[in-house]
Amino acid sequence: MFYFWILFNVVAVALLVLDLYVFHKPGRAVKFRKAIVFSLMWIGLAAVFAVILHLWQGQRVALEFVTGYVVELSLSIDNLFLFLVIFRYFAVPERQQHQVLFWGIIGALILRGLFIGAGIGLIEHFHWIFYVFGVLLIYSGIRLAVIGEHQVEPAKNPVVGLVRRWLPITDEYHDSKFFVRSSSKGALCATPLLLVLIVIETTDLLFAVDSIPAILGITLNAFVVYTSNVLAIIGLRSLYFVAAGLMDKFRYLHHGLAVILVLIGAKMLVEDYYPVSTAVTLAAVAGVVTLSILASIIVPEHGTRSNQM
């Protein structure tokens, strides 16, 4: 199994490099149609991996992967809208956004790996943590339904404040560079692109509080948890540009995600007494996501029925 971990990570990094330097040239904006094509390609890649898992480890493991992938991808889609807010706040040129997402996702993969290892370790040694995660998910789901999407205020990010205090920041972007030398003093200066990356990374920490317990509520198979997270995250760059083009279409998505968090949290609380099969969990998650997206498309913005048929 150790060699499969290494092989998977090597392939994942290779795909990331290809995506940045071959599929999408640095410094170029990603077109909407191209983003759709590549989003479907990444989803297809996850489907192929699910088939490989089915042939290698059986139907149960494959179902756990698919369920985890759908949950992680669903939560990530909601989070993409926050990335859009961050990019607009910092006025990031469209051609530089893909570069930030690339390095942001590299950092996210490292952080998620650490969180997954810590979460599984805690549950194995202290089973009651499983119930804590369940309560946390139910709370997060209720909070998401009542308050709405996560709110991000880049100006109040404490890490950004520290960077501004200790490093000089240039007033303008310098292509895809995070650091440049000052022409007048020769000192190393950070560019606004570094601040954007920092906000993206710290925001992902908030997302992990929901997403990691959610996937652990489906399976404790570390390989399945990690691979479903990685494959969901890898496709986020292309999916972001799809979301940016359809940002007003999914108004009810966060309601669906709130229901999913509550359902998985409840599953974790009753798992020792009334086990719920992965197939049932997958059907529930897929159904909720589908209904929330359909509602966002069909129901008019002001809640009145459309006259168009």
Total number of domains in the chain = 1
- From CA 219, how far away is CA 65, in angstroms rounded? 9
Cα(290)–Cα(205) distance, rounded to whole angstroms? Answer: 27
Domain-located, residue 52:
yes
Geometric angle at alpha carbon 116, from 234 and 86, rounded to 5° = 50
CB atoms near residue 1 (< 10 Å): 6
Domain with 65 in it: 2-150+208-298
- Whether residue 186 is contained in a domain is answered as no
Can you give the pLDDT at residue 243? 67
Q: What does the pLDDT look like over 129-188, one tens digit per residue? A: 888 888 988 988 888 787 765 555 666 667 777 777 887 888 788 877 888 887 665 678
- What is the rounded CA–CA span in Å between residue 147 and residue 113? 29
Residue 259 within any structural domain of the chain: yes
For residue 285, being part of any structural domain is answered with yes
pLDDT per residue over 105-118, tens digit each?
788 888 888 888 88
Take residue 76 and report the two structure tokens written for it.
Answer: 């990530």
d(CA 309, CA 74): 29
Residue 180 lies in a domain: no
List helix spans (H) across the chain. Answer: 2-18, 32-57, 59-89, 94-125, 128-147, 158-166, 192-216, 222-234, 236-245, 253-270, 278-298
Q: Is residue 25 part of a domain?
A: yes
Q: What is the pLDDT of residue 285?
A: 86
Give, as one character, the DSSP assignment of residue 45: H
Q: Model-level pTM? A: 0.77
